[in-house]
Structure 1
Amino acid sequence: MKKLPIAVSSFEVMRSADYYYVDKTKLLGQLNDQGRYFFLSRPRRFGKSLLLDTLHQLFAGKREFFHGLHIEPLWDWSVSFPVVRIDFGSGTLKSPGELNTRILELLKENYQRYQIELPSQTDVPGLFTQLIHKLHEQTGLPVVVLIDEYDKPILDNIENEPVAQAMREELKNLYSVLKTQDAHLRFVFMTGVSKFSKVSLFSGLNQLQDISLSPKYATICGYTQHDLQTVFAEPLKGVDWDKLKQWYNGYNFLGDSVYNPYDILLFLSEDQSYRNYWFETGSPSFLLKLFKQQQYFLPNLEAPEVGEEILNSFDVERINPLTLLYQSGYLTIQHTLERRGHLRFVLGVPNEEVKVSLAEHLIGGYLPRSAEEMYPLQNKLYDALIAGDVAQLERQIHSVFAGIPWRNYTNNELAASEGFYASVLYAFFASLNATIRAEDISNHGQTDLTIELGEFIYVMEIKRDTSQDYVAGEVNPALEQIQQRGYSEKYLSSGKTVFEVGIVFNTHQRNLVQFNSVCVS
């Protein structure tokens, strides 16, 4: 039986041993025919390093690794181009000095691989320039430059803006060399997670072509449904395809949707066990801090509509949480539309794995408890919703906010922000895999949250009261708004039991002070 290529990023290893391999070489041939300078953004664990190594062996003319693949009869194997490899994927660099040392080491490795004597100068631009010139002179062929995870030194320090800026400047020192070497370059391909606009990469005569949202390269990384049903047909025999799609498919880069390869390989290695494989490889701790700092309204994560500029790039000094969520793989494109001649994208969480896990991490940002402590609270909230027990629902919402430590409110305006309470509830409901409609629109306006779980629908309006001593009156203003504006009317023919739920929080008590509900169907 073939082996699963878990953590295998070497194309030579993949093809020299009996590993499962999905042939992407048709797309690499298209790249070569189309141009010379390319950039690809994909989330982590998506196979970018393997793709880059495949390009390395292809331009190096290693035909023995391409037998039987699409590109073998189409490539000129008589030519072996010199290839410079720079990879920032391993380790974490925490200062410009560490980064400069790493860059020098990587450049020297390339000198040694081609047995070129190191020049006397030791500055980064000089070494990189001389490497390209000497390789071109030595071989008589222009140079291929492949850079993997070009942005990782910045992203690893994104929480510390001054350090991130300094790392960006250090990388600019390296990448700016490429803008002046057009006569010596045959092909340049760079990968990363984010597209930073101030690293001397995306402007100039030899401007990198960003293929991250090019439909014809949408599947250049990741596994398609066809890949799974052909290449992995044997190990996936008997799988519930609908459940597999629900859990791990859904990443969309304006073409066929793809699975994260890391998920599928671990799913197979664990005897088709459904778990959060990819998400466990990293926690979005910075995102949690960013959400709280910006008082981000978490329900806006439900189907936000954005322009292409939001997805493409951001700067260290001005970070949009949606950009980071998209580029990191927590959001993906659900569908596209056109407004006033501009292309717009509606985003969404790609699949079950990311949805539930992201929600649990978001909860942890507001309610720092261990998973063991959180689990009973989530269970009780789930049991209340699935049973239509609104009295229990009230008790559990009160418990949720009672568990938020007082220090979370110190020196900030979280409790005073309009979206704080809805954001916490959204995170909890999302972690239960409930269907959520944020700012649910009707013909009379929009309600804050509509939650659907099992045979019950809860139409919720949330109000924030700022008085020192709140006394609940006979009328619940949140419930009154639902009823006056008919927010629940569109669900009355759903065949499910519908509750109208009015919720009032007080900023001084920092908790629920009024909860009223009415069953309307």
Structure 2
Amino acid sequence: MAAISILRPGRKFPIGIQSFAKLREEGFLYVDKTALMYKLAQAGNPCFLSRPRRFGKSLLLSTFEAYFRGKKELFKDLAVERLETEWLEYPVLHLDLNAEKYDSKERLENQLVSQLENWEKQYGVSSVNDSYSIRFMNVIQEACEKTGRRVVVLIDEYDKPLLRNFHNPALQQEFRETLTAFYSVLKSADPWLQFVFITGVTKFAQMGIFSNLNQLNDISFDESYNTLCGMTREEIETTFVPELQTMAASCRISSEEVMARMTKMYDGYRFTASESFSRMYNPFSVLCALSKCRFDNFWFASGTPTFLLEMLKQTDYDLRKFDGTEVAAASLSDDRADVNNPIPMVYQSGYLTIKKYEPEFNIYTLGFPNEEVKYGFLHFAAPFYTPVPEADTAFYIGKFVRELRSGDVESFLTRLRAFFADVPYELNDKTERHYQVIFYLVFKLMGQFSEAEVRSGRGRADAVVKTADYIYVFEFKLGGTAEAALKQIDEKGYLIPYTADGHELVKVGVAFDAAERNIGDWLISYT
């Protein structure tokens, strides 16, 4: 709390604020996105935008609502104030699917009925039908007739009911049928519509929800709207000057170092194929960091990816391939929501982002966007692959790092045994991969505090860890001996790349005991 109290009075952070009217009326800080909003509004095409959660989608829709309701006073000193000259008022139908739990068909139906009843009352619709789609159409037509202007439809988080029930196929099917009929009205109602904007985390082609809405313009990968949600470095450095200075003073580092750390932790989201366009910072994490004067995993902690980890385990996905995986471009823009192909879902949920694009083959390389997501995800994943509880993972990793920093390899390997305790199946090909994933998790997580690398190519050691005084080269043998592992380090020349570093070199050969299903003997050699 002491860090927050030194912020300049009157500067309010819009953390969790999704109402544009509240944000402007109560003086919250705002990164101006109204020029892009105006451009979209003038284009008039029905649009769809996919972005990860807490990326500003709800606030964007609220901004559209204020604009189309002609609330000019809310846009004082913003870009759109200079662009718009008429400020016409349109009827706006804003459907927000964020709030409900959606654990039954009745929950979704109640949400739709409640919204329809409000609209019907607002626009004086007297003839009520049992069909949601007919009622929706009647509202649109009546609103247009009563106001003399075409209708604006805004739908926020269209896919929330589906995401909440990914592992319930029967309920998924019921939701698909209900929502498909409801959303399909938007095509037939086109003569009465001024503008349609739909947001969500994912785009599910196979689910058929948008199969009839072929007029939707998916702007999720459009370079023109790359910065519509999220924050650029320039926006942060322009909008939050006093906060960056305050954070620098609080953390006892320079403003440049604050931005460097901010970039490392929260930057890296890429929503276009082109590398020349700005990578986006996670707005939720940036606001939290600046308001609290500290760096932490704010976005990751705000919603755990349990269903994603369950999906990865269900498909026996090799977690080592997670960072750096290659996918066809079509799988990112037209996802099949296939439990046997989890990576597109993981990407759209914000845990992976675009790292590279090969236009010749139309292939994207994906990876963790930043350190917050990388280490947050790996910490969360560890209990899914090891018997160590999530609460104890950071404790173990901290101990691992301290032991290697002090040169205590014996204690490190003894502690590592705990990560392999009680694996509940016989040794086979699947088990071997499981153990390799555990090694991967341990050394990747250590990389948060030291230079730790996990190698997978031929002719390289299994893992390398660099501390201030030591460089450790590890080789693990499943079905082999510690002597063989140590010999391989020498014969393959694994130490050669590190001989000029000036550190003490330590070779560690480790055997894996098939009978005990755990680390067996090891040999340590100092050079």
Range of TM-score over shorter length: 0.7 to 0.9
Tell me which residue corresponds to 1:345.
364
8 Å contact from structure 1 (residues 276, 357) kept in 2: yes
Q: Which residue of 1 aligns with 2:327?
A: 306
Q: Please name the residue that 1:511 is paired with.
A: 518
Rounded to whole Å, the distance in 2 between the matches of 1:463 and 1:295 is 22
| C-alpha contact (below 8 Å) 1:45/1:262 kept by paired residues | yes
Amino acid at match of 1:226: E
Q: CA deviation at 1:455?
A: 5.1
For residues 367-415 of structure 1, the C-alpha deviation after alignment (integer angstroms, 9 at most, x for no partner) is 355455444422221123334433233212212212xxx4x626x9888
Taking the TM superposition and a 5 Å limit, the aligned residue runs for 1:273-292 are: 273-292=294-313
- Closer, same or farther in 2 for the Cα pair 1:37/1:200, shift >3 Å? farther
Distance of 2:469 and 2:211 partners within structure 1 = 55
Does the 8 Å contact 2:150/2:192 carry over to 1?
yes
- 8 A Cα contact 1:499 1:518, kept in partner: yes
Residue 301 of structure 1 deviates from its aligned partner by 2.2
Name the counterpart of 1:244.
262
Deviation at 1:9, TM superposition (A): 0.7
Deviates more, 1:451-460 or 1:60-69: 451-460
Residue of structure 2 equivalent to 1:100: 109
Query: Aligned with 2:294: secondary structure?
Result: coil
Shift in Å, 1:19: 1.2
User: Any conservation in 2 of the 1:176–1:200 contact (CA below 8 Å)?
Assistant: no
Q: How does 1:63-82 map to 2 (within 5 A)?
A: 63-82=72-91
Query: What is the percent sequence identity of the aligned residues?
Result: 35
User: Once superposed, what is the RMSD of the aligned Cα atoms?
Assistant: 2.7
* TM superposition shift of 1:222: 1.4
Alignment partners' CA distance in 1, 2:202 and 2:469: 41
Distance 1:129 1:487, change over 3 A: farther
The match for 2:7 is none
SS in 1 for 2:382: helix
The answer for the alignment partner of 1:172 in structure 2 is 180
Identify the residue that residue 160 of structure 1 maps to in structure 2.
168
User: How many Å apart are 1:482 and its aligned residue?
Assistant: 4.7
What is the match of residue 468 of structure 1?
none
Query: Kindly tell me: are residues 517 and 332 of structure 1, through their superposed partners in 2, closer, same or farther at Cα, counting changes over 3 Å?
Result: farther
Query: How many angstroms does 1:325 deviate by?
Result: 2.3
Residues 414 and 420 in structure 1, CA contact (< 8 A), matched pair in contact too: no
Equivalent residues in 2 for 1:92-171 (5 A)?
A: 92-112=101-121, 114-171=122-179
5 Å-filtered alignment, 1:128-277, equals 128-204=136-212, 206-238=214-246, 239=248, 240-254=258-272, 255-270=277-292, 272-277=293-298
1:390 paired to 2:412: no
Cα distance in 1 for partners of 2:190, 2:123 equals 24
Shift of 1:149: 0.6
Larger deviation, residues 310-319 vs 17-26: 310-319
Q: Give per-residue Cα distances to partners, 1:414-436, cap 9 Å, x unaligned.
A: 88433211212222233331545
Deviation sequence 1:153-186 (CA, Å, 0-9, x none): 0111113233233322322121122232222222
Q: Distance in 1 between matches of 2:96 and 2:229?
A: 18
Q: Which residue identity lines up with residue 32 of structure 2 in the other structure?
A: D
Residues 199 and 103 of structure 1: CA distance in aligned 2, closer, same or farther (over 3 Å) = farther
Secondary structure, counterpart of 2:32 in structure 1: coil
1:100-119 Cα deviation digits (max 9, x unpaired): 2211212222223x332242
1:72 deviation in Å? Answer: 1.5
Counterpart position of 1:377: 396
Q: Tell me by how many angstroms 1:440 deviates.
A: 4.1
Deviations 1:9-51 (A, max 9, x none): 1111111121111110111122234451211111111111000
How far is the alpha carbon of 1:261 from its aligned partner? 1.9
What TM-score do the two structures reach when normalised by structure 1? 0.88
Q: Which amino acid aligns with 1:236?
A: L
Change (3 A) 1:481 1:235: same
Write the letter of the residue equivalent to 1:91.
E
The answer to which structure has the higher helix fraction is: 2
Q: What secondary structure does 1:176 align onto?
A: helix
Cα distance in 2 between the residues matched to 1:414 and 1:217: 49
Q: Classify the secondary structure of the residue corresponding to 1:409.
A: coil
- Matched residue of 2:431: which SS? coil
**Superposed counterparts of 1:423-462, under 5 Å:** 423-432=437-446, 433=448, 434-441=450-457, 445=459, 448-454=462-468, 456-462=470-476
Q: Which amino acid aligns with 2:269?
A: Y
Of residues 395, 401, 423, the one that matches 2:420 is: 401
SS at match of 2:243: coil
SS at 2:298's partner residue?
coil
Per-residue deviation, 1:86: 0.8
Letter in 1 for 2:97: F
Quote the residue 2:432 is aligned against.
418
8 A Cα contact 1:5 1:14, kept in partner:
yes
Counterpart for residue 83 of structure 1: 92
TM-score normalised by length of structure 2: 0.87
Partner Cα separation in structure 2 for residue 225 and residue 317 of structure 1: 35
Equivalent residue, structure 2, for 1:469: none
